[in-house]
Structure 1
Amino acid sequence: MKVTDLKPNPGATKRKKRVGRGTSSGHGKTATRGHKGQKSRSGGLKDPRRFEGGRSTLIMRLPKRGMRGQVPGAIKRPEYQTVNLGRLVERFPEGGEVTPELMAKAGLIRKAGGRVKVLAHGEVTVALKVHAHKFSKSAAEKLAAAGGEALTLEAEPGEEA
């Protein structure tokens, strides 16, 4: 048996109805659409998924929610990748300097190119010198209390917002 020998069972397939191919076909002239009217025209049917017979559609009745997309020319606020102090201590238990590049290598942030904000969740047990673009107030206090430092980096103009 070959692939070319395969065919559907008898009666499993139905021929496509070819309409508008002459009167002797039985489906000529009006091509099963009847006479005149909106439904006989091309594109004549209202979309049943949205059209509700003239009343206000469901989409129009429900309120808008969530972000609606950016207005052209709007200023885009920079996005920060966040890291908690507890995670930094887990990955760098010996202390020392921690940069966004090291955080990316350790898998704490997705990419080293973006901006980083350090948050205070977790206990700081070692002196860490952390370089980041932003720190929460309590994160900076916790680092200082443990003998570490919170060093703020300046965002470069070409850096991802």
Structure 2
Amino acid sequence: MKLHELKPHAGSRKNRKRVGRGPGGTDKTAGRGHKGQKARSGAGKGAFFEGGRSRLIARLPKRGFNNVGTTYEIVKLSQLAALEGDTFDRASLELAGLVRRKNSPVKLLATGELTRAVTVHVDAASAAAIQAVEAAGGRVVLPEAASETAEKAE
């Protein structure tokens, strides 16, 4: 027996239905009946269509809380400790590959340890992160802190 002599068992394979290719049972309407929505191409009403009445999902009461909160770009203290330099802002963090998304604010978290004094300009920081940076002799500059100091100066 050779590869080109192999054939499937008789009756085990069936030719596909070639609709719309002349008389023979699947011409004219091509097995779709007569007119109507189901006869059209792209027909269908969707999985949750209920004959025109309100869908079940729309009728059920909605409960709970849907928080569409802010998604931060996270920077950890251990990541800052691995970088060289003593001042970090968004541009330097992007250059180092720690911040990827352009429109997301940057938040500093207190994961890891920092042993040297650094200045960090971020949009938000956890209280523990601020405490850890200040304990190492550095400081964290937040945008709202800058506006508060400007108000106090006036």
Please indicate the TM-score interval, normalised by the length of the shorter structure.
Answer: 0.5 to 0.7
1:96 CA displacement: 1.1
User: Could you tell me how far apart the structure 1 residues matched to 2:114 and 2:30 are?
Assistant: 78
User: Could you tell me how far apart the structure 1 residues matched to 2:57 and 2:128 are?
Assistant: 45
- State which drifts further: 80-89 or 104-113: 104-113
2:47 maps to 1:50: yes
8 Å contact 2:75–2:109 — kept in the other structure? yes
Question: Aligned runs of 1:40-119 on 2, under 5 Å?
Answer: 40-44=34-38, 50=47, 78-92=70-84, 95-111=85-101, 114-119=104-109
Distance change in 2, residues 1:58/1:13 (3 Å): same
User: Could you tell me how far apart the structure 1 residues matched to 2:91 and 2:142 are?
Assistant: 15
How well do the aligned residues superpose, as a CA RMSD in angstroms?
A: 4.6
Specify which structure has the higher proportion of helix.
Answer: 2
- Equivalence for 2:3: none
Mark the runs of 5 or more structure 1 residues left unpaired by the alignment. Answer: 1-11, 69-75, 155-161
8 Å contact 2:94–2:100 — kept in the other structure? yes
- Equivalence for 1:18: 20
State the percentage of identical aligned residues.
Answer: 28
1:115 CA displacement: 1.8
2:118 to 88, 107, 128: 128
Deviations 1:82-104 (A, max 9, x none): 10111111123xx5111111000
Mark the runs of 5 or more structure 2 residues left unpaired by the alignment. Answer: 1-13, 145-154
User: Could you tell me how far apart the structure 2 residues matched to 1:28 and 1:144 are?
Assistant: 80
User: Could you tell me how far apart the structure 2 residues matched to 1:29 and 1:103 are?
Assistant: 66
- Equivalence for 1:72: none
User: Could you tell me how far apart the structure 2 residues matched to 1:136 and 1:89 are?
Assistant: 17
SS in 2 for 1:82: strand
SS in 1 for 2:81: helix
TM-score by length of 1: 0.54
Deviations 1:107-161 (A, max 9, x none): 011045542110110001111111111110000000000001011135xxxxxxx
SS in 2 for 1:89: helix
2:140 maps to 1:150: yes
User: Could you tell me how far apart the structure 2 residues matched to 1:33 and 1:99 are?
Assistant: 66
TM-score by length of 2: 0.56
